[in-house]
Structure 1
């Protein structure tokens, strides 16, 4: 049974027929739909959604009336009430599911509300992405009707007083439509396993029985899984056991540092497709090949977007928003500039600061890349080093040296009365550390003018420490963050940097 032959539910089929009209009208329609449905909630009553809907310019009225929230502020004022079982707080009804998310640096879990409306919107976008695979002429899309290996969180959700909580991928699989079940791997029993190491072992032991064409997951964990399969069955490459493997759908972190490592595990080329599926909603997806790395923003569906220029006028040095920042609509952004995302969703997130920064690569097609995090950047002396700069510089250095670096992170540190950057990279083979850090440094100078200037003044040095990959994985495990949903932070600051340095000393890395 091919995915394109399935008769879709009427609600999804109708959503898929939305025309690509004016983006302002599309976003206005999305906002109007959100406000209309939530107007009788506590949040909607406080901020007079009914009155906003009566205004000629509902977008301007909404922005003027509703404040900007981050997770801490909206949880403290609103979302904590839903965990107590109260209904109609920020979205109609009771919240029965929560995605547990800690991003890459937070110590405690965040409880992000998941509603049926949000999941329905996510499913619609997933199907749109599947249909867009027709644009990939070099691979037979009928292969999608074979096995899908999804390396996600456990479907055995945590039971709370009146709700369930877990990883979004686990919730999504648990509530996936019936027509998806025949394709899904691993089995329901394996999917419930909470111990990530046991789950991997189970997947590896069953790998010989599956015909996998489609892998979905975070690059680091997918790479580890394929390496384990190749080692277990004494293979030269993964295609010897999964000859029909054609697609890798990835998200969460940039693929670039992993691309060379993946190439060495494959017997033939596959199609890499990036998605931007956050716990708060399905933000964007890669809809065509060779899109400059860009993903199509889902402007006509279930999320209303605003963009805050990521600069010194709108953000404090620690990454927090200033009071009354400049906010732009999707029609007002510029290509090549970084913006922090504000989203309003059918899960009761209102003008919610997601924490990611994006950069438009093609404004006409609404295509973006994830350029970093509002808290994950280094600017000790004005060098404005973004995660995107780091990924690209490391990719270029890895390609030149023909080495695979599956993990890395960067920290700032004092250097006399000035400052330095210290890189920590994972590599399980002997490498020339001096050559690697020199290439990284020179590549960043070419990519980032501010960095190049500061390397001649206050940013006095750039150093490196090469570690085995297990050091990064063991650190995550020590913080209870093993599994497909967890990612190593690309920038270390504050308490997590202190914990990392202490860990390296204690474990004698």
Structure 2
């Protein structure tokens, strides 16, 4: 039975989707905050920060009165990962109940971030798993807005390439990749459509998993693929090589949709399309370890915030007034609700969630592109930007420049990263471009530099002042992939960092000197 038919048969209700269409972002988020606070008011966190008083303020507020939000801001401080983990979440990891969310926390998602920890442990509650599943269903239902997709698509399989569903038991809880946690609990009615299936999904060895997927691929009638671009591309290349194909559509003729997230798809798109026999539909999602934040609901549109499913958003202007030079949030930053922010300005995102995150800085920067529809794009990370001397170079700038230059040079760039380094008494940027194609380095350097000048006025100014030089080095794609493997971050939701800072830059340089530059 097609997926949509299964959804209807299982009684999936469209109330939440309809509610987001009918109510204002302010009303939806006010109601969401009330629900979150009410569920957590008896927890240690809720008691400590007087959630009952904030709930009372919400009940007493009328119309567009923001006094309840002022009460929330005044009562609850902002948290980064290290602060909320050291003060609160570590207690839940030890098995304590009712810390930041009611009941025990059975799962923790391992997330590589830019905090001081090598891996972050993000709580994943039953309520969060249900919320992610609900948003996933809403996304499937939104496919009806993509009019070019035929009805037969909804009976096809869905390859979801994520982390292993074999989770590590750590006393009172399990830990693993978020994609592995959610895939291990997919609804029974969806298991018929889910590929690669439970047995392969449990594999912890990435290469073994890919080998078995490549072996089984001819037996699957696939209509959708879902996953991080780099790993999906590797999977498809392996299938094509294993079966001596010209393109993936020779084995999956009904493949019509690729749902991607985690990183910008644009730098990968040129190489990805070479693996296809015909055009497909690309749909973007924003599924972070902290929750399912947004997804693309219509063709030729940006992602839309999910405003009524377990997440309350706050926005911090990504400026020097609120962040220091290391991308760290200052105390008591100015924050706003979604209806207050302006279009086309960058904001860092704070989340309060049904997993026990409260005013938590997840590290992403976003930009509202359509206020009426609550549509947005991800522009980067609070710590993944370059501003050595005021150039304010965002990941969004970098992605766009690489995409444009790759097209002009007719090369396939699968990975890249950049670092800010000292140069004489001033500064320089050093780019590492992952491509297996030959390209003139001087041309590549000039084009990247010029594109960034066009995209970013501050960069253009500083290139004539303190940012004295740009260096570019090309590397085979495998160099990036082997680095990820060495770090134990192969597959799943892992991504290569777009910006290397301090110790990470030195580690990368040492790795290149030891494992690559000595052999070329």
Q: With structure 2 as the length reference, what TM-score do the two structures score?
A: 0.95
In structure 1, C-alpha distance between the alignment counterparts of 2:10 and 2:194, rounded to whole Å: 19
Pair 1:67 & 2:68 matched = no
Secondary structure of the residue aligned to 1:407 is: strand
In structure 2, C-alpha distance between the alignment counterparts of 1:106 and 1:245, rounded to whole Å: 41
Pair 1:417 & 2:419 matched = no
2:304 alignment counterpart = 296
Instruction: Give the deviation of 1:12 after TM superposition.
Output: 5.2
Check whether the contact 2:228–2:262 (CA below 8 A) recurs between aligned residues.
yes
Check whether the contact 1:117–1:346 (CA below 8 A) recurs between aligned residues.
yes
1:328 alignment counterpart = 336
Check whether the contact 2:92–2:104 (CA below 8 A) recurs between aligned residues.
yes
Question: Which is worse superposed, 214-223 or 203-212?
Answer: 203-212
Check whether the contact 2:316–2:350 (CA below 8 A) recurs between aligned residues.
yes
In structure 1, C-alpha distance between the alignment counterparts of 2:26 and 2:202, rounded to whole Å: 43
1:36 alignment counterpart = 38
Instruction: Give the deviation of 1:363 after TM superposition.
Output: 1.4
Of residues 91, 102, 113 in structure 2, which corresponds to 1:92?
102
Pair 1:232 & 2:242 matched = yes
In structure 1, C-alpha distance between the alignment counterparts of 2:40 and 2:96, rounded to whole Å: 15
Question: Which is worse superposed, 275-284 or 119-128?
Answer: 119-128
Question: Which is worse superposed, 59-68 or 386-395?
Answer: 59-68
Pair 1:265 & 2:267 matched = no
Pair 1:499 & 2:507 matched = yes
Of residues 23, 37, 58 in structure 1, which corresponds to 2:25?
23
1:3 alignment counterpart = 3
In structure 2, C-alpha distance between the alignment counterparts of 1:475 and 1:104, rounded to whole Å: 17
Check whether the contact 1:104–1:486 (CA below 8 A) recurs between aligned residues.
no
Of residues 85, 88, 104 in structure 2, which corresponds to 1:78?
88
2:168 alignment counterpart = 158
Question: Which is worse superposed, 135-144 or 174-183?
Answer: 135-144
Secondary structure of the residue aligned to 2:336 is: coil
In structure 1, C-alpha distance between the alignment counterparts of 2:113 and 2:249, rounded to whole Å: 33
Of residues 149, 155, 167 in structure 2, which corresponds to 1:139?
149
Of residues 207, 214, 220 in structure 2, which corresponds to 1:210?
220
Check whether the contact 1:133–1:141 (CA below 8 A) recurs between aligned residues.
no
Pair 1:383 & 2:384 matched = no
Matched length: 507
Instruction: Give the deviation of 1:13 after TM superposition.
Output: 4.6
Of residues 178, 201, 209 in structure 2, which corresponds to 1:168?
178
Secondary structure of the residue aligned to 1:69 is: coil
Pair 1:182 & 2:184 matched = no
Q: Closer, same or farther in 2 for the Cα pair 1:205/1:107, shift >3 Å?
A: farther
Q: Closer, same or farther in 2 for the Cα pair 1:380/1:141, shift >3 Å?
A: farther
Check whether the contact 2:109–2:121 (CA below 8 A) recurs between aligned residues.
yes
Secondary structure of the residue aligned to 1:182 is: coil
Instruction: Give the deviation of 1:129 after TM superposition.
Output: 1.0
Question: Which is worse superposed, 270-279 or 59-68?
Answer: 59-68
Secondary structure of the residue aligned to 1:288 is: coil
Question: Which is worse superposed, 476-485 or 136-145?
Answer: 136-145
Secondary structure of the residue aligned to 2:277 is: coil
Instruction: Give the deviation of 1:16 after TM superposition.
Output: 3.8
Check whether the contact 1:356–1:370 (CA below 8 A) recurs between aligned residues.
yes
Check whether the contact 2:82–2:116 (CA below 8 A) recurs between aligned residues.
no
Instruction: Give the deviation of 1:59 after TM superposition.
Output: 2.0
Instruction: Give the deviation of 1:438 after TM superposition.
Output: 1.1
2:63 alignment counterpart = none
2:56 alignment counterpart = 54
Q: Closer, same or farther in 2 for the Cα pair 1:166/1:263, shift >3 Å?
A: same
In structure 2, C-alpha distance between the alignment counterparts of 1:109 and 1:8, rounded to whole Å: 41
Map 1:311-390 → 2, pairs under 5 A: 311-390=319-398
1:287 alignment counterpart = 297
2:64 alignment counterpart = none
Question: Which is worse superposed, 16-25 or 64-73?
Answer: 16-25
Deviations 1:348-384 (A, max 9, x none): 0000001000011111111111100000000011000
1:488 alignment counterpart = 496
Q: Closer, same or farther in 2 for the Cα pair 1:390/1:66, shift >3 Å?
A: same
Instruction: Give the deviation of 1:5 after TM superposition.
Output: 1.3
Secondary structure of the residue aligned to 1:299 is: coil
Check whether the contact 2:260–2:283 (CA below 8 A) recurs between aligned residues.
yes
In structure 2, C-alpha distance between the alignment counterparts of 1:462 and 1:406, rounded to whole Å: 20
In structure 2, C-alpha distance between the alignment counterparts of 1:445 and 1:254, rounded to whole Å: 20
Deviations 1:22-73 (A, max 9, x none): 2111100000000001000001101111111111342221111100011110
Check whether the contact 1:359–1:368 (CA below 8 A) recurs between aligned residues.
yes
Deviations 1:139-183 (A, max 9, x none): 225413211111100010000111111111111111111111000
Deviations 1:427-464 (A, max 9, x none): 11211221112111111111100001111111111110
Check whether the contact 2:164–2:203 (CA below 8 A) recurs between aligned residues.
yes
Unaligned runs of 5+ in 1: none
Check whether the contact 1:134–1:141 (CA below 8 A) recurs between aligned residues.
no
Check whether the contact 1:70–1:354 (CA below 8 A) recurs between aligned residues.
yes
1:101 alignment counterpart = 111
Check whether the contact 1:16–1:124 (CA below 8 A) recurs between aligned residues.
no
Q: With structure 1 as the length reference, what TM-score do the two structures score?
A: 0.97
Deviations 1:104-125 (A, max 9, x none): 6866221111111111111111
Q: Closer, same or farther in 2 for the Cα pair 1:141/1:365, shift >3 Å?
A: farther
